[in-house]
Chain A
């Protein structure tokens, strides 16, 4: 067994330990179901109420991915625009930082005002949450392309779009994919917030309703579903990242190996 496998096993054990301790503490101190249900009860509730939970989970995934998809489209185009020249980058960057530091939760009421409660504000919230990391990373990747690499292309008489396609964009891919795994998590957060505040579907809404009727195990079952979805999305996009932009890792790997 090598070092990384051992670490993975250890963190798995740590997670299990966490749930076992939770279970034991609830049992020993007789914690009420209305305060903190035991993990075993939560899982039983999840299995029991699965048919009711499922449509909400699908709604949440759908909203997240739709918002994230729009986020990618807009993020890529804005990022390419801003990263297209040093000047555009320097001019637009402060405004970008300003926008991205607004707590996005604050825009949910505005979306509800404009579009009414439902799926639309949730999709928009997911989009707005996910768009900024993508814009910033794509713009940074493009704006920091080594002039030497561009010179190689210019000497060959390459047009601007050929330089973009053959050098700048591939060079930016690691930045782009690194932003995706962050963004998809943010999109997910945005979706759940909007569902909690202003929707009649989705896991966020399910948890809202369950808590107002003191169905605490169901609230926690919803939380478990969210955790599972969030981790899965992150893992999927990390995997895509490592597959598509493996060359950056291998470069690092080499310099590490040669020490």
Chain B
């Protein structure tokens, strides 16, 4: 599916794949009300790779849940593919910090799960799952370095390999919007760097719109074409800057002076924002 298949999206907004307009999200009520997001505006253009960075509890996951449609905004409007969310016209893929694979399914069936659920794939699931879909899964597994593991069960794989499988599951139904919530956060440094490259290649291959949440500034600068910095209490976006490095990027580039200075800039921006709040925890 491509842009032409969203029939009645106004042309002026088709480019905006995801948008938050003056969004506010609160949890609880009365004394214990928590404002997770306040007055947040964010626009994602089709094909962009945007990283959200910020301290814990600043509302990064909340933004992803809004995009995924598993959470409603208390105020403001959430647009997905130019339409208000609800009549959700696009396919969404999501990967979390935990691989969240289903332990009773092998890797092939885990990765194939979205094809069983998401239209239009679901309509042909029965007839194609042993042929076309199977090949599709195997091809994707090969791309992330999991060739030959389709019949394995999640418990037989290392954490890094499970996370690769989880990325495949997020991508198998060719989502227009890919939501990644600290997907490499629980991995060791070397595995993480390996997966950055895997992720970049996957993105370069089909150019889905990506919203990546991360704590790791190097990761954000390596992968993203734009970085949004968030602040906590109340959560909101305080800085938004493009990342211009040429692709494909490599781990060696992260030692480049320009790269280092961008990273330090980001760090300063985050630290300054926290100090101005009097929060140095």
Chain A interface residues (CB < 8 Å from chain B)? 146, 148-149, 151-158, 162, 166-167, 170-171, 173, 245, 247-248, 250-251, 254
CB distance from B167 to the nearest CB of A (A): 13
CB pair B117 A156 closer than 8 Å: yes
Q: A157-B88, A166-B113, A250-B153 are in contact. Are A152 and B100 (CB under 8 A)?
A: yes
CB-based contact A155/B155 at 8 Å: no
Of A155, A173, A251, the residue contacting B69 (CB under 8 A) is A155
| B253 cross-chain contacts in A, Cβ below 8 A | none
List of B residues within 8 angstroms of A251 by Cβ? 103, 155
A149 touches B118 (CB 8 A): no
Listed stretches B90-98, B215-223, B256-264, B269-277; interface member: B90-98
> What are 24 pairs between A and B in contact, CB < 8 Å?
A148-B96, A149-B102, A151-B70, A151-B94, A153-B117, A155-B70, A155-B92, A155-B93, A155-B179, A156-B113, A156-B114, A156-B173, A157-B69, A157-B92, A166-B102, A166-B117, A170-B102, A173-B104, A245-B104, A247-B103, A250-B153, A250-B155, A251-B103, A251-B155
State the main secondary structure of chain A at its contact with B.
helix
CB-based nearest B residue for A246: B104
Residue of A nearest to B64 (CB): A155
CB atoms of B69 and A148 under 8 A apart: no
Counting CB contacts under 8 A, is B68 at the interface?
yes
Partner of A155, one of B94, B98, B104, B153: B94
CB nearest neighbor in B for A162? B117
Report which residue of B70, B104, B118, B153 has the largest number of chain A beta carbons within 10 angstroms of its beta carbon: B104
B226 within 8 A of A: no
Nearest CB of A to B80, in Å: 12
Bound Cα distance from A151 to B114, whole angstroms: 13
A159 to chain B, nearest CB (A): 9
Q: Which residues of A contact B116 (CB under 8 A)?
A: 166
A162 to B100, CA, bound (A): 17
Residues of chain B within 8 A of A149, CB atoms compared: 100, 102
* CB nearest neighbor in B for A247: B104
Instruction: Name which residue of chain A comes closest to B156, CB basis.
Output: A254
- Pair A148/B117 contact, Cβ less than 8 Å: no
Q: Are B118 and A148 closer than 8 Å at their CB atoms?
A: no
In the assembled complex, which residues on chain B have CB atoms less than 8 Å from the CB atom of A170?
A: 102, 104
A254 touches B69 (CB 8 A): no
Collect the chain B residues with CB atoms within 8 Å of residue A250's CB: 153, 155
In B68-82, the 8 Å CB interface with A consists of 68-70
In whole angstroms, how far apart are the Cα atoms of A250 and B114 in the complex? 26
Residues in chain A near residue B104, CB distance under 8 A: 170-171, 173, 245, 247
Instruction: Decide: A152 and B88 in contact? CB cutoff 8 A.
Output: no
Question: In angstroms, how far is the closest chain A Cβ from the Cβ of B157?
Answer: 11
- Bitwise, B100-119 to A at CB < 8 A (1) or not (0) is 10111000000001101110
Chain A residues with CB under 8 Å of B153's CB are: 247, 250
Q: Which of A146, A173, A247 has the most CB of B within 10 A?
A: A247
Contact of B94 among A152, A171, A248, A254 (CB under 8 A): A152
Task: Determine the distance from Cα of A251 to Cα of B156 in the docked complex, in whole angstroms.
Answer: 9
Whether A156 and B92, one on each chain, are in contact in the complex, defined by CB atoms closer than 8 angstroms, is yes
Instruction: Write the B126-156 contact mask toward A (1 if CB under 8 angstroms, else 0).
Output: 0000000000000000000000000001011
Instruction: State the CA gap A170–B88 with chains docked (Å).
Output: 28
Which residues on B sit within 8 Å (CB–CB) of A248? Answer: 103
Q: Which 9 A-B pairs have the closest CB atoms?
A: A155-B94, A155-B68, A156-B117, A247-B104, A251-B155, A158-B117, A154-B70, A148-B100, A170-B104
